[in-house]
Structure 1
Amino acid sequence: MCGIIGIGSTRPLGELPWMLVGRDALIHRGPDDAGTYTSDDRRVMFAHRRLAIVDLSPLGHQPMAIADNSLWLTYNGEIYNHIELRAELEALGHRFRSTSDTEVVLAAYRQWGRDFLTRLDGMFALALHDVRENRMILARDRAGEKPLFYRLRDGELRFASELKGLFADRDFERVVDPAALDCYLGLGYVPGNRCLIAGVSKLPAAHALEFNCANGTARTWRYWDLPAYAGGASPDSQALVEELEALLTGAVRRQLVADVPVGLLLSGGVDSSLITALAVRAGGRLKTYTVGFPEYADVDETAHAAFVANHFATDHTVLAVDMPQPDILTKMAYQYDEPIIDSSMIPTYLVSEQIARHCKVAIGGDGGDELFGGYYSASRVARLEQVSRYTPLWPRRLLASAATHLLPTGVRMRSALRMLGTDLTGDLPPISIQLDEKARSGLIERKPPISAEAVRAGRVPAETDAVQRMTRYDFANYMAEDILVKVDRASMLNSLEIRAPFLDREVIEFAYGRVPSSLKATPKARKIILRQLAKRVLPAGFDAVRKQGFTIPLDRWLRAGPWRAHVEQVLYDPDSAFSRSEVASLFAGLDKGRQVREQLFGLTLFEEWRRQHGVELPLHS
């Protein structure tokens, strides 16, 4: 795993001292090595920080070139099928100097051109400079596990793994995009290619960008998409469970390959327990790690994890976590240089910090909920689909409108009632899980609701049933822009690589192309096919129905003590972007037991973020 940064221009570039500063601002992503590349015509510059995982020798140094220096690559990620690709490329006449997957990526591009991306199975963000064609290519993996920000302006393309790399240039404009802020407050993240910084874009997952260094033109394209469901009306559920077991076993086996120690993240839930079972089957006795909150039994999962670890005789470690001091928000705001509203970034960071003391690579269960309908929203839309068969849309919309206007933010069942107004015959629209339009309008100067562009980015076409669309929505939006962002930033701040077998290409394509909604979620059950697989590979007595998110007791922390004082100090600051009276209303709701802890967390994180990075607010322009 690594950090990358670079620039391409239609004009020769002078000395750019900020490039090295930006590279080293990413040192947490790659503490093992550093490198730079400048093209002969000085129109392209790459800089790299390396976390050595495969081929630890100097032969894995980046940026890397092919033998004649006509092709250069700076790359962040892992290609899990690099061994198979290497054999195929060798049969086609390519020769390799190292065992690094980086060299395989270079050879794949030289052999197959732009189509090389369809051959890669892994997590990656990369930049190529094709000297012969005088072009640069940026690309991200299918799920969006690895980040890539860029700015295209005045014949110049700048890119980096994290915004802090671009912020190393003190003249880089840092102004909030109001439409992106509206998305952040409504969804908890910024979807699509938008960014909280105006003028900056995120390269979407499964996309590539080509920049012409001669004339400054650029084009983006999608090189892969989720397959349409083609499983038939009456699939054989037993055969599908067996096929999933085989695919997931293969993915786990590929992701266990590394030249450094590998550990397993074990929460005791279905997803991580399945990965542990299959990893032990593939790789013998392995190390497992669980984070525990001994002072808070209702969010502590150590007993469930220990049950699985004992059965599979793993080398198990429990990492006890006490309540952190609120200044951890300052650290999170720096690392999440495009923030998300998800307080589970804190335990994710804390467990990554502990695990990084033992190993460089960890394997987790991310993706299982999104692919197979593990969230309550999947059951909710299944229930809504049933209701819509005998209840017209207009009374449901009246009830949803009443819930919006009469029930305060954070009241239980408010979001479920608001969802009743969704028209399932059309596109599935973005779902405001944090602050709805009414709440947002009071927090900041009135702006249009979530922008049309962002709405298009978040919508899922009405091409399948509601559960299939919900899982597609979660894959393209919540997983890509929240879950994977959380995991990448928290782990990389600790120079730890986290891998996700559920996001293997074959597993993804199976989940969406072959698994029917009846094996994902119904009004009363979720993640059905995974629970059936759990019965095959997990011990008797395992609780496959239990669903507990990776949470912290944030509501209790915010009611009193140092966390309450810190958050109030930040949000009641005269320079705050948010209405003091609306913030006070959220605190009052918290004290009455309403579910507004995430909203207060998100507002605080935003304020800490913009002050640390010197981001300006154009809210009164």
Structure 2
Amino acid sequence: MRFFKVCGILGIINVENCNPIDQSLLVMMASSMTHRGPDGSGVWVQADGQCGLAHRRLAIVDLSEAGHQPMSTPDERVWLTFNGEIYNYTTLRKDMVARGYSFRSNSDTEVILYLYQEYGELFYEYLDGDFGLGLWDCEKRRLILIRDRAGVKPVYYTYVDGRLIFASEIKAILRYPSIDKSIDLTSFYHYLTFLVVPPPQTLVKGVYKLESASMMTLEPQKGYRPHFVKYWLPIPKVQAHRSFEEFDDELEFLFASSVKKRLMSDVPVGVLFSGGVDSTLNLCSFSKLISPEKVKTFTIGMDNAGSFHDDSTIAREMALRLCSDHHEMRINEADLLAAAEKLALLQDEPVSDPVSVPLYFVTKFAKERGVTVLQAGEGADELFCGYDNYRRFLRHHSFLWQPLSKLPCWLSHIGANILSYSNSPKSRKISDVLVRRAKGQKLFMSSAVAYYEMEKQRILAPELRHAIENLDSFNVVAPYYTKIQNECPNASFLQQLTFIELQLRLPELLLMRADKMAMANSVEVRVPFLDRDLMDFSMRVPDSYKLRNGVAKEPIKKLATKYVSKEDIYRPKTGFGVPIQQWFKGELGDALLDLLAEDFLDSASIFDRRQLEYQLKYGLRTVNEAFQLWVVYNFLVWQKELSCS
């Protein structure tokens, strides 16, 4: 029987002359991640005390000790702490056996160790999976940190007291006795735009996140200065000679293969189910491999939601037709407020997508019903142009942005200044667009933007506004534009948009909300749409294939109609969401005002309270304005937890 491990990893490396690493320190820091690995723990410290590794283990299949971590090669020269799953483990193991390696366990962790011995630093090229890992080579005194291609699993690191510390969660790093918990104001400024801090920074000064598809190496030959390799980029390589029918066949094969890789038939299989196209295709594909009544589906509904409509009714009806073992729970505003501080702590740093709330509750609900692995639909929209926002940006680029390029810069500035005084959210957005056009910037920053530049100036305290007056959040995405233009000079606007989304919003917002909320309940979320081969496939197809007949995500929808009716697939969908616009008009709004009034938070030095009170009282005309307040609320709750820790 093989192992499946979802875990928390931790390591400390002395990169300067320091006291030997204390094993008890590793144990104390790793204990903050017990939720990631409640089934066991392990610690190893090198004899001379230069390196120490720790591990928390959630074993979904086998609880024996054969796959215990940290794990070493038989000669104990190479040690590994690993979080995740390698889906091509079986093939790799056979290859390693053919090359003369003997295995002591059925663990994919051991395969990684032998791959490193065989191929050195290039071992990552052979891994197909979702993972974060830390590998220590005792002989070469080399540390390697790697995060998977899509960014499903997080890795954080910092330097303190002549040491490098890495972990699956920031909270483990913050357990280090002399760590500085100051807020990075530059990161905070960008957080207000992107709902999350862009990599490699975090909201905690001096603590960093490893970017998706990245490897960091530290070794004495380079003075223990970090060396980074970006080992995969979503660069378009369109195969224009192929027909749409050929692409359809390949998509069907690749998705079926992805689902099969992620299936473990000896544990209950769960699907996060909204009744929409992604979750329906997930469910139907799994049901082809095992009987549908063995597949548990989970959805969530909202009470006291006003005019907000969730998909729980549709999900219930679809699950009944597809014969899954369906489970539904409901939450309300009181549930959110009761869990708010806990959710902020679990996030490590604010991941301010309100969908985090239902994700936390529905994964907790699934865990209570014996499900430890859940399939989710993240990635389908990013890879196949599924969001309405994407099509909106495409229209704006053609009919607004390009015509604006003909305006002289001075006229754009005048128009922007006039519109900036408006209380209309739409006018302020147009003002921001005019300013960026005048600066020679690009239209797209992210499909999820909370506060644009001028809006941030309104809500920040005057002192902070002055301290960060030269910042501009477009500078976060400018290097992404440069990179794709260098790699693919003829990249279309949609291809550029996709490139940016796969570097920032997908790994740092969507995948981190899934990881943090699910792992808080010791549940693993798997994402079949982000399979390595499917991601490569999405880079090979033209824009016209993704937007066939002007329909968003048409290839996925067409594939889903092989299982259910067109009416089911092409209807409007809401998905997992939260009625925050309604909730901010009630107790959630009161909770925000209370947080702004708490002196120990020193929020007065960050926010202009009067502006936020005005927005709360008069500015809830649109869902986006409620999203903005959620970004503020989430930060304040997190800041409160940080100050108390």
TM-score when scaled to structure 1?
0.92
For residue 337 of structure 1, report the CA deviation from its aligned partner. Answer: 1.4
Match of 1:595 in 2: 624
Match of 2:361 in 1: 350
Match of 2:585 in 1: 559
Call closer, same or farther: CA 1:117–1:309 in 2, change over 3 Å.
Answer: same
- Kept after mapping to 2: 8 A contact 1:373/1:520: yes
Equivalent residue letter for 1:50 = R
For residue 52 of structure 1, report the CA deviation from its aligned partner. Answer: 0.5
Call closer, same or farther: CA 1:244–1:417 in 2, change over 3 Å.
Answer: farther
2:420 to 402, 405, 411: 405
Call closer, same or farther: CA 1:426–1:474 in 2, change over 3 Å.
Answer: same
CA distance in 2: counterparts of 1:498 and 1:47, whole angstroms? 23
Q: Cα deviations across residues 388-412 of structure 1 (Å, max 9, x unaligned)? A: 6973514498398368514436x35
CA distance in 1: counterparts of 2:419 and 2:12, whole angstroms? 47
Match of 1:216 in 2: 224
Match of 1:386 in 2: 398
Match of 1:312 in 2: 322
Call closer, same or farther: CA 1:510–1:594 in 2, change over 3 Å.
Answer: closer
For residue 599 of structure 1, report the CA deviation from its aligned partner. Answer: 1.5
CA distance in 2: counterparts of 1:433 and 1:354, whole angstroms? 30
Match of 2:3 in 1: none
CA distance in 1: counterparts of 2:422 and 2:559, whole angstroms? 41
Match of 1:374 in 2: 386
1:169 to 170, 176, 184: 176
For residue 162 of structure 1, report the CA deviation from its aligned partner. Answer: 0.8
CA distance in 2: counterparts of 1:56 and 1:8, whole angstroms? 29
Match of 1:229 in 2: 237
Provide the secondary structure at the position in 1 that maps to 2:349: coil
Equivalent residue letter for 1:319 = M
Structure 1 stretch 154-163 or stretch 583-592: which is displaced more? 583-592
CA distance in 2: counterparts of 1:41 and 1:226, whole angstroms? 42
For residue 521 of structure 1, report the CA deviation from its aligned partner. Answer: 3.6
- Kept after mapping to 1: 8 A contact 2:436/2:442: no
CA distance in 2: counterparts of 1:572 and 1:518, whole angstroms? 52
Call closer, same or farther: CA 1:452–1:615 in 2, change over 3 Å.
Answer: farther
- Kept after mapping to 2: 8 A contact 1:118/1:224: no
Match of 1:2 in 2: 7
**Paired residues for 1:260-271 under 5 Å:** 260-271=267-278
Provide the secondary structure at the position in 2 that maps to 1:467: helix
Structure 1 stretch 312-321 or stretch 195-204: which is displaced more? 312-321
Structure 1 stretch 379-388 or stretch 69-78: which is displaced more? 379-388
Task: Return 5+ residue gaps in structure 2 as ranges.
Answer: 1-5
CA distance in 2: counterparts of 1:362 and 1:138, whole angstroms? 26
Q: Cα deviations across residues 210-234 of structure 1 (Å, max 9, x unaligned)? A: 11257433211112222423221x6
Call closer, same or farther: CA 1:110–1:428 in 2, change over 3 Å.
Answer: farther
1:363 to 375, 378, 382: 375
Call closer, same or farther: CA 1:589–1:515 in 2, change over 3 Å.
Answer: farther
Equivalent residue letter for 2:316 = A
Provide the secondary structure at the position in 2 that maps to 1:26: helix
Equivalent residue letter for 1:454 = V
Call closer, same or farther: CA 1:388–1:438 in 2, change over 3 Å.
Answer: closer
CA distance in 2: counterparts of 1:523 and 1:590, whole angstroms? 38
Report the number of matched residues. 612
2:560 to 527, 534, 539: 534
Match of 2:149 in 1: 142
Match of 1:583 in 2: 612
CA distance in 1: counterparts of 2:198 and 2:265, whole angstroms? 33
CA distance in 2: counterparts of 1:155 and 1:167, whole angstroms? 16
Match of 1:619 in 2: none
**Paired residues for 1:324-339 under 5 Å:** 324-339=335-350
Match of 2:451 in 1: 435
Provide the secondary structure at the position in 1 that maps to 2:22: coil
Provide the secondary structure at the position in 2 that maps to 1:489: helix
Equivalent residue letter for 1:364 = A
The alignment status of 1:501 with 2:528, answered yes or no, reads: yes
TM-score when scaled to structure 2?
0.89
The alignment status of 1:465 with 2:492, answered yes or no, reads: yes
CA distance in 2: counterparts of 1:33 and 1:549, whole angstroms? 35
Call closer, same or farther: CA 1:588–1:388 in 2, change over 3 Å.
Answer: closer
Match of 2:296 in 1: 287
Q: Cα deviations across residues 137-173 of structure 1 (Å, max 9, x unaligned)? A: 1110001111111013564211111111011123210
CA distance in 2: counterparts of 1:253 and 1:52, whole angstroms? 20
- Kept after mapping to 1: 8 A contact 2:416/2:430: no
Q: Cα deviations across residues 267-298 of structure 1 (Å, max 9, x unaligned)? A: 11111111111111123322211212255474
For residue 245 of structure 1, report the CA deviation from its aligned partner. Answer: 1.0
For residue 545 of structure 1, report the CA deviation from its aligned partner. Answer: 4.3
Match of 2:569 in 1: 543
For residue 489 of structure 1, report the CA deviation from its aligned partner. Answer: 0.4
1:485 to 512, 519, 522: 512
**Paired residues for 1:63-74 under 5 Å:** 63-74=70-81
CA distance in 1: counterparts of 2:408 and 2:561, whole angstroms? 39
Call closer, same or farther: CA 1:53–1:107 in 2, change over 3 Å.
Answer: farther
CA distance in 2: counterparts of 1:264 and 1:481, whole angstroms? 22
Provide the secondary structure at the position in 2 that maps to 1:299: coil
The alignment status of 1:113 with 2:124, answered yes or no, reads: no
**Paired residues for 1:145-160 under 5 Å:** 145-153=152-160, 155-160=162-167
**Paired residues for 1:12-27 under 5 Å:** 12-15=19-22, 17-27=24-34
CA distance in 1: counterparts of 2:247 and 2:423, whole angstroms? 44
Q: Cα deviations across residues 181-201 of structure 1 (Å, max 9, x unaligned)? A: 111011111112111111111
Structure 1 stretch 277-286 or stretch 128-137: which is displaced more? 277-286
Equivalent residue letter for 2:351 = I
CA distance in 2: counterparts of 1:389 and 1:578, whole angstroms? 32
Equivalent residue letter for 1:435 = Y
Equivalent residue letter for 1:564 = G
CA distance in 1: counterparts of 2:479 and 2:366, whole angstroms? 35
Equivalent residue letter for 1:220 = F
For residue 386 of structure 1, report the CA deviation from its aligned partner. Answer: 3.0
- Kept after mapping to 2: 8 A contact 1:274/1:534: yes
Percentage identity across paired residues of the two chains? 31
- Kept after mapping to 2: 8 A contact 1:383/1:523: no
Provide the secondary structure at the position in 1 that maps to 2:69: coil
1:573 to 594, 598, 605: 598
For residue 565 of structure 1, report the CA deviation from its aligned partner. Answer: 1.9
